[in-house]
Chain A
Amino acid sequence: MNEVKSIAESEKEIIEDFSLFDSWDEKYEYIIELGKKLPLLNPVYRTDDHIVKGCQSTVWLGSSFRDGKVFYEADSDAIIVKGLISLLIRILSGHRPDEIIQAQLECIKVIGMASHLAQTRANGLLAMVKQMKNDALAYQLQNQLNQAE
């Protein structure tokens, strides 16, 4: 596995990637491409328990905890949401729970995709970020309990 970049490094990289695009069309083409390339979701996560329900599209989110770090995988029935999820996974996956919980995800604003995280967008992406952080919080608490024993 490649060395995991810090959250700040990943965010910086994403901002650099998007700065290459001149138009919104190019940005969306790239996001669609990311969506298509997102690795297949482990079938154990494709259950109702793992659905993060948006108003329109459905997101499946799975996470695991190894060596003090949280790893995510996800899928969606909508391709642009899937591309945006791919960015979130690139930023957050492989980090400690406290880092994930504190992540502000400023780069989403910088690349002009903030509206997808706004309350007005009923696409489940905001719910997805919340769920990713909730999972991280749950692993953190579990870890603290285990250490206390």
Chain B
Amino acid sequence: MNMNVTSGIESGFDIKDIRQHFPILQRQVKGKPLIYFDNAATSQKPQIVLDALSNYYGHYNANIHRGIHTLAEEATAAFEETRDAIRDFIHAGHREEIIFTKGTTESINLVAYTWGRANIQDGDEILISNMEHHSNIVPWQILCKEKNALLKIIPVNDEGELDMEAYKKLISHKTKLVSVVHVSNALGTINPVKDIIRLAHQAGAVVLIDGAQSAVHLDIDVAEMDCDFFAFSMHKLFGPTGVGILYGKKDILENMPPFMGGGEMIKEVHFDKTTYASLPYKFEAGTPNIADVNACKAALVFIDKIGKENLRQHENELLAYATRELKKIDGLHIIGNAKHKVSVISFIVDKIHPQDLGILLDNSGIAVRTGHHCTQPLMQRFGIPGTVRASFSVYNTTEEIDTFVLALKKAIKMLA
């Protein structure tokens, strides 16, 4: 990778060393050392990302692409190098297939509002699953209502896996789009996206994969996966908030109308006619989030130095350990027991509201997520108001899980 950032991380895996890269892990919450288990919501940021942000504003802050001065050139070069780094990271064929948005939600909405409006017609069907995040439900509901199209739902089994037999029956020549989550944010389930994409393509449908949860854990190869769109957010990959990625196949993106009008996305503007810029700028109207995009490069360097295989192995060990320990607690039920999972554990405890557990765990300095996780239809599927969700990242430890389990037992005792 062509990057002028040194991470200071030795290759290989040393948890103590890794933790030192995250200043926030030094802080206390409610008088206790912070234990951060809300990584599926957002990851913490290593020092090199913080330095990259400060370096941008301190040394080469300028608006990009149009300036001829030195700062503008430096800022533009860093911005476009990040695009290349992201292309490498997800193995896209062309750099212009990488579009910067403000997050996964905007990436999905971009497709719904441009590709969707141009291609979905009366009577067409869009397939999503029962485990989608609201951001992969609501844009399609709006589109279907506007176009008189039908939204169909792939069911989820008791283990929290997609019912692939049902999927095969649901898909038909009427299906124009399949939009499914790669990894469930609420359950951790890894979905068989390659099969989903192959079957969708056989039926002539276009496929969007919501990679918000998968991009940090799994190796992403959009070319091999053969998805038509892939959406994710950099803040879940140790990068800053406010940077989303939309990958789209070049020929599809070229035929899509623009999303927002404004500067940057045009070629020539006349009052009677405007021509649009080429990819990817056609979809990047206005001044982009230059500082945060540029700092994403450092986040990718960080992941690269640790190595995704090391990262995954560590997270899987934490998942297995936490699952084993939590199963020992009476009245605790893990929601989502898929064969293939990332390091996310959702659970409920008999007769106790998840929110009460969340408040008491916070009181012990432990950050977990409680509630419906923006997946209300999935919670309805399991007949529960919500869960407690612990999600682990590369800087978490088995000792932290021990502390968490003790705090959880104490909370259950207090609430029983």
Chain A interface residues toward B at CB < 8 A: 24-25, 28-29, 32, 55-58, 77-81, 122-123
Contact = CB atoms under 8 A, between A and B. Distances in A.
Interface of B: 30, 352-356, 359-360, 363, 370-372, 385-386, 414-415
Nearest to B32: A24
A77 B385 contact: yes
Nearest to A24: B363
Given A58-B385, A78-B356, 11 more contacts: A24-B363, A25-B414, A32-B414, A56-B354, A77-B353, A79-B352, A79-B415, A80-B359, A80-B360, A81-B355, A123-B355
B354 A28 contact: no
Contacts of A57: 353, 355, 385
B407 to A, nearest CB: 10
B371 A55 contact: yes
A29 B356 CA distance: 12
A34 to B, nearest CB: 13
Contact of B414 (A28, A58, A78): A28
A80 B363 CA distance: 13
Contact of A56 (B360, B370, B414, B415): B370
Contacts of B370: 56
Contacts of A56: 353-355, 370-372, 385-386
A29 B410 CA distance: 11
A32 B30 CA distance: 19
A31 B126 CA distance: 48
Contact of B30 (A24, A78, A81): A24
B416 to A, nearest CB: 10
Contacts of A29: 414
Given A80-B359, A81-B355, A32 B385 contact: no
Contacts of A32: 356, 414-415
Contacts of B372: 56
A28 B360 contact: yes
A30 to B, nearest CB: 11
B30 A80 contact: no
Nearest to A122: B371
Given A25-B363, A29-B414, A56-B386, A80 B371 contact: no
B139 to A, nearest CB: 21
A78 B363 contact: no
B371 A78 contact: no
A112 B359 CA distance: 13
Contacts of B414: 25, 28-29, 32
B32 to A, nearest CB: 10
A32 B412 CA distance: 12
B360 A78 contact: no
B301 to A, nearest CB: 33
Q: Which of A25, A80, A122 has the most CB of B within 10 A?
A: A80
A81 B385 CA distance: 16
Nearest to A121: B359
Contacts of B354: 56
A24 B407 CA distance: 13
Contacts of A55: 371
B412 to A, nearest CB: 12
B81 to A, nearest CB: 37
Contacts of B363: 24-25, 28
14 contacts: A28-B414, A32-B414, A32-B415, A55-B371, A56-B355, A56-B370, A56-B386, A57-B355, A58-B385, A77-B385, A78-B356, A79-B352, A81-B355, A123-B355
A28 B355 CA distance: 13
B371 to A, nearest CB: 4
A100 B72 CA distance: 58
A55 B373 CA distance: 10
Nearest to B386: A56
Contacts of A79: 352-353, 356, 415
B359 A28 contact: yes
A79 B386 CA distance: 15
Nearest to A27: B363
Closest 10 CB pairs of A and B: A78-B353, A56-B371, A56-B355, A78-B355, A57-B355, A80-B356, A24-B363, A80-B359, A78-B356, A79-B356
Contacts of B352: 79
A81 B352 CA distance: 12
Contacts of A24: 30, 363
A32 B363 CA distance: 14
A25 B360 CA distance: 8
A122 B386 CA distance: 13
Nearest to A54: B355
Contacts of A122: 371
Nearest to B370: A56
B348 to A, nearest CB: 13
